[in-house]
Amino acid sequence: MEISIERLKAADADALFTFELENRDYFEETVPSRGDDYYKPDIFKRNHEALLKEQTVGTSYFYLIKDQHNAIVGRINLVDITSAQKAAHLGYRVGKFYTGKGVAKRALQLLLENVIANQNIKQIHAKTTTNNVASRVILEKNGFAYMRADKETFEMNGQKLSFVYYRWTNKNFSC
| CATH classification at residue 107 | 3.40.630.30
pLDDT surpassing 80 at residue 164: yes
Cα–Cα distance measured from residue 30 to residue 121, given in angstroms and rounded to the nearest whole number:
28
Please, which residues have CB within 8 angstroms of residue 43's CB and are 6 or more apart in sequence?
37
Band (119; pLDDT cuts 50, 70, 90): low
Average pLDDT, the chain: 92
Instruction: Provide the pLDDT confidence category of residue 31 given band limits of 50, 70 and 90.
Output: confident
For the entire predicted model, the pTM comes to 0.89
Asked if residue 165 is part of any domain, the answer here is: yes
The helix/strand/coil state of 97 is: helix
pLDDT at residue 172, rounded to an integer: 80
Number of domains in the chain: 1
Is residue 133 situated within a structural domain? yes
| Any domain includes 150 | yes
Task: For residue 167, count CB atoms less than 10 angstroms from its CB and return exposed for 0-12, middle for 13-18, buried for 19 or more.
Answer: middle
First to last CA, the chain: 36
Tell me whether residue 99 is exposed, middle or buried, using C-beta atoms within 10 angstroms of its C-beta: 0 to 12, 13 to 18, 19 or more: middle
The boundaries of the domain holding residue 58 are 3-169
On whether residue 175 sits in a domain, the answer given is no
Q: Is residue 148 part of a domain?
A: yes
Residues paired with residue 94 on neighbouring β-strands, in sequence order: 74
Mean pLDDT of the region 91-108: 95
What pLDDT is stored for residue 11 in this prediction? 97
More confident residue, 107 or 115: 107
Residue 174 is assigned to a structural domain of this protein: no
Mean pLDDT of 126-151: 93
